[in-house]
Amino acid sequence: MNEVLIIGTVALDTIETPFGKVYKTLGGSATYASFAASFFSKPALISVVGNDFPKGHIKLMKRRVDLDGLKIVGKTFQWEGFYEYDMNEAKTRKTELNSLENFKVEVPKKYKSIKHVFLANIDPEQQLETLRQMNKPEFIVLDTMNFWINNKKNALMDVIKKVDVLLLNDGEARQLFNTLNLVNAASRALKLGPMAVIIKKGEHGALLFTKNRHFNAPGYPLEKIVDPTGCGDSFGGAFIGYIAKTKDLSEKNFRKAIVYGSVIASYNAEGFGLNRLMGIKLKDIEGRYKEFHDIREF
Ligand code: AMP
């Protein structure tokens, strides 16, 4: 039985960073999120790719992710982005929605009772439709990005009201709640319904806000960041993967899940695409998790 359902994009990404460029490499929010979740739980994925999507990618993903919810039609979603020396901010050159544009979500019957759902970055109307087709999930996490804040804000606000945890990066939180102050953005997000809001601050860590408490996870001090693409998605995937494994929705456990999210995201940034995540083992994850303890002890 799969333990986490992830809906999001599966993409061919063209990425340029100060350390190199890759063309049409395997990417997408659901791809990163499901790989990250697979270190802790069994993920199932809902998305769409085109007939141009390499069979090798499907084979590789199938080793870790249930792909019965992956449709193949038309042309694959493509994203092209670049980073300058501030590696915290991806700049989009091109977004080609292709088969994502007319993607009608159909949750396979065997996924409908999965208790943990990650609405990774995708059209908020497709996120809402996924929830409509599920049988009462127990825990829902939502991620998004500026593209959807700009284009589908109303639908996005509707999804926020239905989820338990909202993930945003700092820029998106400011944009969505029209404020420069992150504490203010988080408290406005909490008023919409989620029990927790997590604001990701790239290499500077992540902030957790709940009604009465606040936690600040440091970023892992990486000496070389090669490609941060997918760090937000892998953070989210690891977060929900760990929650699904432990089945503990306490604030204390959210803190641990955030540190696991930060660990996986830090590995992800060490290579282009999924290269680095494909090479790590549980002992690497636990090693860095222990270092996090040390970093924040005083
Ligand atoms: P991040 O974790 O924010 O770095 O996400 C990077 C991934 O998001 C890339 O692999 C892209 O394919 C994917 N992506 C880019 N734009 C969008 C979009 N508008 N909707 C969903 N996914 C996207």
**Cross-sheet strand order for the sheet of 20-27:** 20-27, 11-17, 78-82, 91-96
28 lines ligand 1 (CB under 6 A): yes
**Entry pTM:** 0.97
User: Domain tally for the chain?
Assistant: 1
Q: What is the CATH number of the domain that holds 195?
A: 3.40.1190.20
Confidence of residue 278 (pLDDT cuts 50, 70, 90): very high
Domain that holds residue 231: 4-296
Q: Which of 204, 197, 192 is nearest to 168 (CA)?
A: 197
Joined together, the tokens standing for residue 267 give 């590995």
Write out pLDDT tens, residues 190-242: 999 999 999 999 889 999 999 999 999 999 999 889 999 999 999 999 999 99
pLDDT for the residue 233:
97
272 lines ligand 1 (CB under 6 A): no
121 lines ligand 1 (CB under 6 A): yes
- Specify the DSSP class assigned to residue 74: S
Q: Whose CA is nearest to atom 11 of ligand 1?
A: 28
Q: Which of 6, 7, 9 to mutate to test the pocket of ligand 1 (most atoms within 8 A of CB)?
A: 9
Q: Distance between CA atoms of 67 and 44, rounded to whole angstroms?
A: 6
Write out pLDDT tens, residues 7-36: 999 999 999 999 999 999 999 999 999 999
Confidence of residue 85 (pLDDT cuts 50, 70, 90): confident
127 lines ligand 1 (CB under 6 A): no
